[in-house]
Amino acid sequence: MSFNNLDTLYRQVIMDHYKNPRNRGTIEGDDHMSIDMNNPTCGDRIQLQLQVEDGLVKDAKFDGEGCSISMSSASMMTQAVKGMRIEDALSMSKLFSDMMQGKEIDEQEFDLGDIEALQGVSKFPARIKCATLAWKAMEKGVDEQGQS
């Protein structure tokens, strides 16, 4: 593998999200849920906050520590799910997971936008968990809310 191959992982848009994360911080007030998730094998951590009203993700913010892939993925995820219906956010998460596993995905289903740049991660098996951390946190939050 050469450095050209690395470029399929570290796309410009990923580095941009890493350097200038969107929705980094915390949601004021207490009408939101908070999800802490970490990747115990490597130490990446994310605190995700979601504000859901009438089945719609009104706001999403994150904080945490991790590599370029995990933090840029969190930034992109919050950007994407803001304003989405919960079931759409979950479908998108499923699509993202498929994309990470290198499966064929229906690109018509969602406008992936910046997220498409993470496609190259599927070629780096050791880094897939970095990319999916924020999405798993979102799924966990929605799941827990559904139960309460």
d(CA 110, CA 89): 10
CB nearer other proteins, residue 41 or residue 108: 41
Can residue 65 be called a binding residue for other proteins (CB under 8 A)?
A: yes
CB nearer other proteins, residue 6 or residue 109: 6
d(CA 109, CA 6): 28
Within 26-55, which residues bind other proteins (CB under 8 A)?
41-45
Can residue 20 be called a binding residue for other proteins (CB under 8 A)?
A: no
d(CA 108, CA 112): 9
C-beta separation of 95 from 110 below 8 A:
yes
Token digits of residue 67:
């590599």
Binding segment for other proteins (CB under 8 A), chosen from 7-15, 53-61, 75-83, 89-97, is 7-15
Binding segment for other proteins (CB under 8 A), chosen from 53-61, 77-85, 122-130, 132-140, is 122-130
